[in-house]
Amino acid sequence: MSLTRERTVDDAVSSAIEQIKAAALRDPHDFNKVEKIHEICQCFKLSDPTLKRLMDAMLASMEKGLEPETASTAAVKMLPSYVRAVPNGTEQGDFLALDLGGTNFRVLLIRLVGGECKMEGRIFRVPDRIMKGTGEQLFDHIAQCLADFMKDHDLMDREKLPLGFTFSFPCKQEGLTCAKLVNWTKGFNASGVEGEDVVNLLREACHRRKDIDIDVVAVLNDTTGTLMACAYLENSCQIGVIVGTGSNACYMEKIDRIKKIKGEMDHEADGLPDEMIVNTEWGGFGDDGAMDFIRTKFDEGVDACTINPGKQLYEKMISGMYMGENVRVVLEHLARANLIFGGDFEAISVPHSFPTKFVSEIERDLIEDEEKSFSKTMTILEEIGIENVTPTDCANVAYVCSIISTRAAHISAAGIAVLLNRMQKRFVTVGVDGSVYRFHPTFSKLLDEKIDDLIEGDIEYQLMLSEDGSGRGAALVAAVATRMAHEKASKSS
């Protein structure tokens, strides 16, 4: 069970919704509309038996991703990270981190001293011409920025510092220091990089400069970094989750159960732990139809208008990139049915006119506005361009936001519960990061409450906000890799 479980969120939202219905009773016409809206939104309410059926399907998909015969076609890829341990508190020294995952990238210096983590960093921009130029130009730019940072921090004449490289693009990882780019995303299209080892490209760019000497000891994605950053503060962290613009999870798995890498390593003889972090890439769950039984016509409509129809279906029901649009298509349907906004559907019919931040702001308004004046909600709807908005409209919009975000939290909880049930460890800390988890007013508690409902036996867990997995986490992976290399060397000497 959760150590922090509090049954407050459902109660607060339910109370607010009951007030809405009570107010609507004064006008039978409004009450009938409220009843119809609730009926239409029933498809988003998932019972615990339905969520457990979803968990069974997800577990089956994960097992396909771990098996050599089915891994290549599995919807949930279950990628080995080759990270074999979390920080134990003895890591010491200076470490560099590179964090590339978008148009900005960061260089960081992390100092681990006496159990404390001190961090200095600088943000650099990747110009559009370099994002879409050659791979050599891109990595030369990264090396230039790294050199500038090292000069600023008097690191040029130091001994080689271990470096962790967070590269948040789809990669086929073949070792702790080998990751081949599968395909570019996020607007990048640098030529000559797809299919190549990005660590090797970084090393070559540094070598071309001749003025910086680095030791890349690990390449990772931001989800692994999330787990590691949390584990530095809480050693029991064994799961890392991101619920932000996208969604993903990783967890510590027994190497014997990662059957697709059988034969790659002899973990019994190498003196290292018998576990490894697996990056699930769970956003792709359901791409093979395994989740069709909970998808709605609204989900299908949102998916059809994305740049990757039929892909990342689980992520599209959870993440910040899609939550606002999931709400908008329902509101458009209700407006066209003359159930809200007096039938005025023109403004709400504009795709992506209802960003996820509006969902958070409206739900906060629902909970915190004791007078139920919906002043913030009214302002948002008027900003979109909807005219003559009534308090009942605001209440109904808040209800739709609550239904969609609750489903997202419950589906996320199902995924985390699958991992907790699979691991069967007595106590696990789950490190979580991402804008939805951080900023949505009820998501974190809804997530916690539903995990508690879905886990089996006497497992205990806690959710913990993970700070800066892509930066701090990269350096910590480098620190752990360095510690383990020293331990292995001392054992063999």
Give the model's pLDDT for residue 412: 99
Complete DSSP assignment for 401-421? HHHHHHHHHHHHHHHHHHHHH
Answer whether 247's CB lies under 8 Å from 315's CB: yes
**Is the residue at 292 inside a domain?**
yes
**76 and 88 belong to one structural domain:** no
Give the model's pLDDT for residue 7: 46
Rg (CA), the chain: 24
The answer to whether residue 27 is catalytic is: no
**57 and 97 belong to one structural domain:** no
SS3 70: coil
**216 and 257 belong to one structural domain:** no
Structure tokens at 137: 């130009």
Give the model's pLDDT for residue 67: 97
**Is the residue at 484 inside a domain?**
no
**35 and 137 belong to one structural domain:** no
**Chain segment 96-106, per-residue pLDDT in tens:** 999 998 888 99
pLDDT mean across residues, the chain? 91
**Is the residue at 479 inside a domain?**
no
**295 and 308 belong to one structural domain:** yes
Catalytic residue among 99, 222, 365, 468: 222
The answer to whether residue 222 is catalytic is: yes
**Is the residue at 489 inside a domain?**
no
Phi, psi at 472, each rounded to 5°: -55, -40
- As a whole number, mean pLDDT of residues 287-299 equals 98
Query: Which of the pair, 470 or 132, is modelled with greater confidence?
Result: 132
Give the model's pLDDT for residue 65: 97
Answer whether 241's CB lies under 8 Å from 463's CB: no
Give the model's pLDDT for residue 130: 95
Phi-psi domain of 7 (left: phi exceeds 0; alpha: psi -120 through 50; beta: other):
beta
**Chain segment 26-48, per-residue pLDDT in tens:** 566 677 899 999 999 999 999 99
Answer whether 221's CB lies under 8 Å from 82's CB: no
Give the model's pLDDT for residue 6: 45
**Chain segment 411-434, per-residue pLDDT in tens:** 999 999 999 999 999 999 999 999
Catalytic residue among 186, 211, 262, 274: 186
Residues near 298 by beta carbon (within 8 Å), at least 6 away in sequence:
43, 326, 329, 330, 333
- As a whole number, mean pLDDT of residues 248-258 equals 96
Residue 359: pLDDT over 80: yes
**192 and 62 belong to one structural domain:** no
Give the model's pLDDT for residue 205: 96
Q: What domain range is 129 assigned to?
A: 83-220
Eight-state DSSP code of residue 219: E
CATH of the domain at 165: 3.30.420.40
Structure tokens at 319: 């993440």
Q: Over pLDDT 90: what percentage of the chain? A: 75
Give me the residue label for tokens 């039978």: 28
- As a whole number, mean pLDDT of residues 278-304 equals 97
Confidence of residue 373 (pLDDT cuts 50, 70, 90): confident
**241 and 212 belong to one structural domain:** no
**283 and 338 belong to one structural domain:** yes
Give the model's pLDDT for residue 16: 56
CATH of the domain at 290: 3.40.367.20
Give the model's pLDDT for residue 322: 96
**247 and 363 belong to one structural domain:** yes
Total domains in the chain come to 2
Residue 23: pLDDT over 70: no
Residue 24: pLDDT over 60: no
**93 and 53 belong to one structural domain:** no
**357 and 266 belong to one structural domain:** yes
Of 186, 220, 254, the last residue of a domain is: 220
Residue 3: pLDDT over 80: no
Residues near 75 by beta carbon (within 8 Å), at least 6 away in sequence:
61, 64, 65, 284, 285, 286, 287, 288, 290
**Is the residue at 481 inside a domain?**
no
Confidence of residue 376 (pLDDT cuts 50, 70, 90): very high
**Is the residue at 480 inside a domain?**
no
**Is the residue at 227 inside a domain?**
no
Confidence of residue 349 (pLDDT cuts 50, 70, 90): very high
**Is the residue at 142 inside a domain?**
yes
Structure tokens at 46: 């998932």
Residue 5: pLDDT over 50: no
Quote the pTM value. 0.91
**Which of these ranges, 161-165, 184-188, 472-476, has the smallest mean pLDDT?**
184-188
Structure tokens at 165: 């490289």
Residue 409: pLDDT over 50: yes
- As a whole number, mean pLDDT of residues 359-383 equals 91
**Chain segment 6-21, per-residue pLDDT in tens:** 444 455 556 655 665 5
**120 and 145 belong to one structural domain:** yes
Give the model's pLDDT for residue 124: 96
Confidence of residue 190 (pLDDT cuts 50, 70, 90): very high
Give the model's pLDDT for residue 491: 73
Of 194, 220, 246, the last residue of a domain is: 220
